[in-house]
Structure 1
Amino acid sequence: MSEDKQGRNSGVQQHKPTSRVPEELTKRNQDYLFHLKKALAETKLTPEKQQAAIDDMVPQMLAAQKKGQTARQLYGTVAERVTAIIEGPKADPNAPQNKWLLMMDSSLMVFMVFNLMYGLMFLFSSRSKVQTGQAGILSEVILAVVAGYGIMMMQSTFAVRGSKRPPIWRLIMYGVIFFIVLTGTYTLVMLIPGPLNANLPATVYIVIGAVTLAARLYLKRRFNIKNTVF
């Protein structure tokens, strides 16, 4: 009987917090942790995650104590702290975006604009007015990638705040270089042979543009892409 009881007790003890509240904490902070532990015990968090949250807080509380700051001033009420632990850290809205996601978004935007523009152009004008290769799908892809990269670099540059932001003359110079590179790329892609870069029917361009728009909107939501052109 005693061995069975000890076995059951050892299983229960595995879920109990192993670390103790440091005596260096003030009575007020110890009381805060006491009520926080009780509140966390009523949540669906595992005992391990509950204790990990407490262990992360203790060094911060000890450091704040030296400045005369209490746990309530540091974390808010116990209920607010429990909510913060459950929801996890919030993303910084001002944090820099992933450059490759910005490039993808910008490239899709340019690709969408080209397809819709050429689709409407072919619907209301003679196709002969548009040179073969000028509206070729391969030309559009190359231009979209180059333009997407340039727009991403400009977005990343303008997003810098404070003393690290480049001077205005450098930003203007970058814009001029980007325009020259984009114009040169546009001139070169028009030289791609027709069979590899033939123009498509107007309806195909419009469908591709619409699909690209839907894909862009989905990816913006999926990866939370912000600070884009539009």
Structure 2
Amino acid sequence: MSENRELTKKNQDFMFQFKKLLAQNTKLDGEKIDSIASEVEAKLLATQGQGQTATQLFGTPTQAVQQYLDPKKTAKKLFDFKFSTLAIDTSLAIFMLFALVFGLTLFFSKNNRNQGAGIISLLLIAGLGGSIYTAVVLKLTPNPKAPEQTNSRSRRWGYLIAAMVAWILGFVVLGMLPAVINPTLPAIVYIILAAVAYLAFRWNRQRAGLKGGFFAISQLSQQARLEAAQK
């Protein structure tokens, strides 16, 4: 078994917690624990040079243990989710971020009625951004359910550029909406909306079994790319 000193500090911490959780399972003997730990460590050593962390590969130590002890409860992969679930998750993340930033900007600004974003443009920007980003990630990530993918590098770049142009144009156009239909709300309202969006964000993830960081779709895409590269 490779020694932990060869792992990065973060991966060493991950392995420490992972082994500790494995040892707490009374159904595993020492030999089985060493076998599982060796397999996980080997994967970490093989991928950490590529910038992949233990969290990106396995999630939390608890989730990693679950993958080995109860595969049926293993977290879903990118293409196991519906487009709508991923788009809503990403849109809510964008809305939370923008609403909080606008709320704080307005709160600490003296001229707080002339700054920030109108509520309609904020809603549409979040929805547009979340949908475009989700569509691009799904298009550019290798899909094991569709093995015969013929997207050339130029075509992938075309998707990315088209998405960026659509996002920029949408942002500019929505930012030009007149105040009469796109009012700027008080700072506290934006902060409250950010909190409400967070609750919806957590509910959507629990309902769908979606796990990961702030932008879960990015982590899922990284995992899918790594699995495709290992085949």
Q: What TM-score comes out, normalization by structure 1 length?
A: 0.54
Whole-Å separation in 2 of the counterparts to 1:139 and 1:146: 10
Q: Any stretches of 5+ residues in structure 2 without a counterpart?
A: 1-69, 220-231
Contact residue 104 and residue 148 of structure 1 kept, 8 A: yes
Cα shift at 1:225: 2.5
User: Are residues 128 and 207 of structure 1, via their aligned partners in 2, closer, same or farther at CA, if it must alter by over 3 Å?
Assistant: closer
Paired residue for 1:141? 123
Q: Deviations over 1:105-130 (max 9, x none)?
A: 11111111110110111122343695
**Cα offsets for 1:18-41 (capped at 9, x unmatched):** xxxxxxxxxxxxxxxxxxxxxxxx
- Is residue 228 of structure 1 aligned with residue 213 of structure 2? no
Using CA pairs below 8 Å that are at least 6 residues apart, which structure has the higher relative contact order? 2
2:199 to 214, 218, 224: 214
Q: Is 1:155 aligned to 2:131, yes or no?
A: no
| Aligned 1:50-65 pairs, distance under 5 A | none
Q: How does 1:4-153 map to 2 (within 5 A)?
A: 93-94=76-77, 96=79, 97-127=81-111, 130=114, 135-153=117-135
- After superposition, what is the alpha-carbon deviation per residue over 1:186-228, rounded to whole angstroms, capped at 9, x for unaligned? 1211222212111011111011011101210121011113542
1:182 & 1:154 partners in 2: Cα distance? 12
For 1:21, the equivalent position in structure 2 comes to none
**Mapped contact 1:157–1:165 kept (Cα < 8 A):** no
Residue 149 of structure 1 aligns with an amino acid whose one-letter code is S
Q: Which runs of 4+ in 1 moved over 6 A?
A: 89-92
Q: What percentage of aligned pairs have identical amino acids?
A: 25
**Partner in structure 2 of residue 171 of structure 1:** 156
Aligned-partner residue type, residue 218 of structure 1: W
Give matches, 1:185-224, under 5 Å: 185-224=170-209
Unaligned runs of 5+ in 1: 1-86
Question: Structure 1 92/206 Cα, relative in aligned 2: closer, same or farther at 3 Å?
Answer: closer
Separation (CA, whole Å) in 1 of partners of 2:111 and 2:97:
18
Number of aligned residue pairs: give it.
142
Distance of aligned partners of 1:165 and 1:150 in 2 relative to their CA distance in 1, 3 Å threshold: farther
Give the TM-score normalised by the residue count of structure 2.
Answer: 0.53
Task: Determine the C-alpha separation between the residues in 2 that align with 1:228 and 1:179.
Answer: 18
Radius of gyration: which is bigger? 1
Report the Cα offset of residue 165 of structure 1: 6.4
CA deviation after TM superposition for structure 1 residue 91, in Å: 7.1
